[in-house]
A and B are shown apart, each in its own frame.
Chain A
Amino acid sequence: MRRIFTTLSGVLLALTIFAGNPGFGDRGYRISVMGEYSYNTTWSHHGNLDVQALLPFNPYFEMEAKIQFSTANVYTEVVQLRPKFTLPVGEMFLETDLMYRAVARNRVSDFTAGLGVGYRMDYVSVTLGLFARMMSDWGRSWYANETYVVEPFNVMYRIEAFCRPQNNPWNLSFCVSNVDDYQMERVWQPLFMANAYYDVVDHWRLNFGVQCKPTGMFHLDATFYGATFRTGFTYKF
């Protein structure tokens, strides 16, 4: 046990040493456009178009705005506000997520709001927080008492490990989380992701990502549910 503890402590110490300079490479404004092929057992094969803008107003505050159009007839808008605090080692941030998902195919609105605390170093980023969900029926009557469902407490988590420092011209990361850019799942519904980017030239970046979504993990009989493949580019101003 002591050996395991010593090894883990050594790895963490090494990560903090390498994380001396927080320069995470997100000091400039960016806009990204990505295409996705996605499949799940409910919506079958579908494609998504993602547009994202990163707006780092100053070293202490950034905002991200994201929108997704899906051929499954689902439209998602996300705004993230992220105050940041540079520490001697790494960076701490507050993650404020507002997501609205217009599920037109089912005439349902899914609104989620979350607040989390994150800490990132060159090789690791961790976020932990809470979010609430409100699902509402588009056809609801203002006179009915069954207009919406509120799920007030959900845990959100995200653990991502990077192969290279985050300001490197290329990177590969592996992530487990119950939230991604356009969905916030319940706590017991993890998403497994691998993401990569490559800076082709100064202003242009290529992005790749793959996601696997099982269902029934944690006290159901786990099985495959869906997968998403993503590619696109980012322009860095």
Chain B
Amino acid sequence: MIMQKKIYYIALALVLSACASKDSSLDIAGMFSSNGEPVDVRFKQSKAYNDSVDEIHLNVASDNYTVYVCTDSHITRKSHKNLDYFMAQYKAAESPKVAVHLGDLINAQQNFACADSILHFAGQTVADTIFVTPGNHDLYFKQWTEFRSFFKTGTYWFDTNNGDKKLDLFICLDSGDGTLGVDQMNWLRTLLADKAKEGYRRIIVFTHTHFWKLDNSQGHTSNYSMEETYELTALFAKHGVEFVWCGHQHARQSVIFKGVNYLVLDATKDEESGQSYMTVNMGESAIYHYHNYPK
């Protein structure tokens, strides 16, 4: 009986220490209550940064360019083969280009430095960079501070142009909490109302959390409340958003609702089935392709 108790306590200690270890992606406390900054605080900090720097207008020097999109790389210091491949493909592409990562860049603690060494993040003001949105794994274990130290902001917009000609507007939203919160939602309402009048060719929103639960491919990943689903889908439709790009569920999905095309991407995580990234040829029409990672 004493031996049984000892084994039980040792097993419990091992489980708890595994949950708390730096390589664990399981933040049990964060599952029930955010143990870092909630979305309203993160948005205020993002906005304060955005207000302190110039707006981002990327001159892509052509009406046609390519956007490279990936998500859920979940890298660790030991496992980042697919993200390496994605960045190599992106950097090697000759056409004008932009890259976007839809969140869950890292899997657990202390991997942002590794991610930075892969992305060669040069700031979000040059064309040859990657735009990142925070996912839940980037926020667990109070990692928002570390995310900010590399990427500065989680909510922002940028646009592309060909000289004086405006092309496309990209809006990045921080949805790591499964809600945009009050302030970010109001900011989005105002931004879309203003920008929709400026004659962009198309408006694209990208964020981590997906909108629909069409099948069981999403497993145990939660998404927005129904109230927020109604509100956001109506807002996007009202202001002519053409695409919403999301990640989080690790399985591709395409839904058109109210004229808006919701694309969910496969994961970029190593050792997971169905890994792919997406390229979108941005011309008069936006044509997207999925590309499998090499095995």
Q: Do A and B come from one complex?
A: yes
Using a CB–CB cutoff of 8 Å, the interface residues on chain A facing chain B are: 1, 40-44, 103, 105-108, 110, 135, 137, 139, 145-146, 148-154, 183-186, 188-189, 213-226
The verdict on B190 contacting chain A, using a C-beta distance below 8 Å, is no
Q: Which of B224-270 contact A (CB under 8 A)?
A: 224-231, 233-234, 237, 255-259
Q: Do A108 and B234 touch (CB < 8 A)?
A: yes
Residues of A within 8 A of B220 (CB): 188, 218-219
Are B259's CB and A183's CB within 8 A? no
A189 vs B214: C-alpha distance when bound (angstroms): 16
Measured between beta carbons, the chain A residues less than 8 angstroms from B221 are 188, 218-220
Q: Are B225 and A42 in contact (CB under 8 A)?
A: yes
Instruction: Name A184's closest neighbour in chain B (CB-CB).
Output: B226
CB-based closest 6 A-B pairs: A216-B178, A146-B256, A188-B222, A106-B234, A215-B178, A220-B178
Nearest-neighbor residue (CB-CB) of A190 within chain B: B222
With A and B bound together, what is the CA distance between A139 and B214 in angstroms? 22
Q: Is B8 an interface residue (CB 8 A)?
A: yes
User: If A41-B182, A42-B185, A186-B213 touch, does A221 touch B233 (CB 8 Å cutoff)?
Assistant: no
Knowing A106-B233, A149-B257, A217-B31 touch, does A225 contact B136 (C-beta < 8 A)?
no
**Bound complex: CA of A139 vs CA of B237, how far in Å?**
11
Given contacts A105-B231, A137-B258, A216-B177, 8 further A-B contacts (CB under 8 A): A1-B8, A103-B230, A106-B230, A215-B178, A216-B34, A216-B176, A217-B178, A226-B227
Task: Tell me how far the C-beta of B267 lies from the nearest C-beta in chain A, rounded to whole angstroms.
Answer: 13
Q: Would you call A215 and B213 a contact (CB within 8 A)? A: no
Interface magnitude class on chain B:
35 or more
- The winner among A149, A185, A214 for most chain B CB atoms within 10 A is A149
Q: Contact check, B32 vs A222: say whether CB atoms are below 8 A apart.
A: yes
Given that A110-B230, A151-B214 are contacting pairs, would A223 and B222 also be in contact in the complex, using a CB cutoff of 8 Å? no
Contact A216 B136 (CB under 8 A): yes
In the assembled complex, B76 has its CB within 8 A of some CB on chain A: no
Q: Are B30 and A221 in contact (CB under 8 A)?
A: yes
Q: Is the Cβ of A219 less than 8 Å from the Cβ of B31?
A: yes
Contact A146 B257 (CB under 8 A): yes
Give the chain B neighbours of A146 by CB distance below 8 A: 256-259
Quote the shortest CB–CB distance from A77 to chain B (angstroms).
16
B36: CB under 8 A from chain A?
A: yes
Contact string against A for B residues 271-292, beta-carbon threshold 8 Å, 1 for contact and 0 otherwise: 0000000000000000000000
Residue of B185, B216, B229 touching A153 (CB-CB under 8 A):
B216
> Would A153 and B215 count as touching, CB distance under 8 A?
yes
Q: With A and B bound together, what is the CA distance between A152 and B214 in angstroms?
A: 7
Distance between Cα atoms of A44 and B30 in the complex (Å): 25
Q: Is the CB of A137 within 8 A of B225?
A: no
B45 an interface residue at 8 Å Cβ cutoff?
A: no
A215 near B31 with CB under 8 A, answer no
The listed residue with most B CB atoms (<10 A of its CB), out of A44, A221, A224, is A221
| Closest residue on chain A to residue B258 by CB atoms | A137
Q: How far is the CB of A190 from the nearest CB of chain B, in Å?
A: 9
List, in ascending order, chain B residues with CB within 8 A of A135's CB: 229, 257
Q: Does A215 contact B179, Cβ atoms closer than 8 Å?
A: yes
Tell me, in angstroms, the Cα distance from A137 to B185 when the chains sit together. Answer: 21
8 Å CB contact of A222 from B31, B214, B227, B255? B31
CA distance A103 to B177 in the complex (A): 24
- Known contacts A188-B220, A216-B177; A42 and B228 CB within 8 A of each other: yes
A84 to chain B, nearest CB (A): 29
> Chain B contacts of A139 at CB under 8 A?
258
With known contacts A1-B8, A106-B231, A221–B177 Cβ distance under 8 A: yes
What are 30 A-B interface contacts by the 8 Å CB criterion?
A: A40-B227, A41-B179, A41-B182, A41-B185, A42-B225, A43-B231, A44-B182, A105-B230, A110-B226, A146-B256, A150-B214, A186-B222, A188-B221, A188-B222, A188-B223, A214-B33, A215-B225, A217-B222, A218-B31, A219-B31, A219-B220, A220-B178, A221-B30, A222-B30, A222-B32, A222-B33, A223-B33, A223-B34, A223-B39, A226-B227
Which residues of chain B are within 8 angstroms of A184 by Cβ–Cβ distance? 226
Q: Does B38 contact A (CB under 8 A)?
A: yes
CB of B269, distance to nearest CB on chain A (Å): 14
